[in-house]
A and B are shown apart, each in its own frame.
Chain A
């Protein structure tokens, strides 16, 4: 299953607008997308409650994985959200 480790650039972490953008993006793809700590359990990236529950801070790394026909495209799009400073989102 395609996966990658990405640093969370927005200063406030995966929270507020970046989190909302992240979950919205995850919902745009058919693949089943997950996110979590680099070495921990992954949760449903398409659920705002699940993503909020991770409590990821800015500068931390997360693992994202995707399973499905558009998995690579989904990971590209999610990586872009995570790599974009909050004021540019």
Chain B
């Protein structure tokens, strides 16, 4: 189901292979700006506040070198996923203390129901596989990242 929607959820414009800021909050803004620049966010500050609120409740650093900041927000009309990666890793307050190198952001409309949880759980399951993480860490272009995610969420 999800694999057919990757082009819509995570267009290559939402994928950056540039080095994000090394600090968690700034890295979250870096991911958000990928979606902002693609014209999908009506109010950047609202989206950022919703992301921060979720982060305050519990960190989205899920361990194994992965951070998945996410929020339901009135600031987007279409569910959107963004990707960035950090070569040194970012302290994401993960329970296993592993710095996050692979970063995914999920933004879904407020009325999106459980869609964000479905995207979150599909992505998490995909990222459990070491070969998927390796491919994402080594991908040399945005298309490779997109295709890796598409194949992995099958």
**Which residues of A line the B interface, CB within 8 A?**
12-13, 15-17, 19-21, 23-24, 27, 47-50, 52-55, 57
Contact = CB atoms under 8 A, between A and B. Distances in A.
A8 B50 CA distance: 25
Contacts of A12: 117
A83 B147 CA distance: 40
A49 B58 contact: no
Contact of B63 (A47, A55, A57): A47
Contact of A52 (B54, B57, B114, B120): B120
B94 A48 contact: yes
B53 to A, nearest CB: 10
A6 to B, nearest CB: 19
A55 B95 contact: no
A13 B58 contact: no
15 contacts: A12-B117, A13-B117, A16-B57, A17-B57, A19-B58, A20-B58, A23-B95, A47-B63, A47-B64, A48-B94, A52-B120, A52-B124, A53-B128, A55-B118, A55-B122
Contact of A17 (B58, B122, B124, B125): B58
Interface residues of B, number: 23
Nearest to A57: B114
Nearest to B117: A55
Nearest 3 interchain pairs by C-beta: A55-B121, A53-B124, A20-B58
A24 B63 CA distance: 12
Contacts of A13: 117
A20 B107 CA distance: 20
Nearest to A49: B62
Contacts of A16: 54, 57-58
B136 interface: no
B68 A52 contact: yes
Nearest to A44: B128
Interface in B106-153: 114, 117-118, 120-122, 124-125, 127-128
Given A16-B57, A19-B58, A49 B63 contact: yes
Contacts of B94: 48
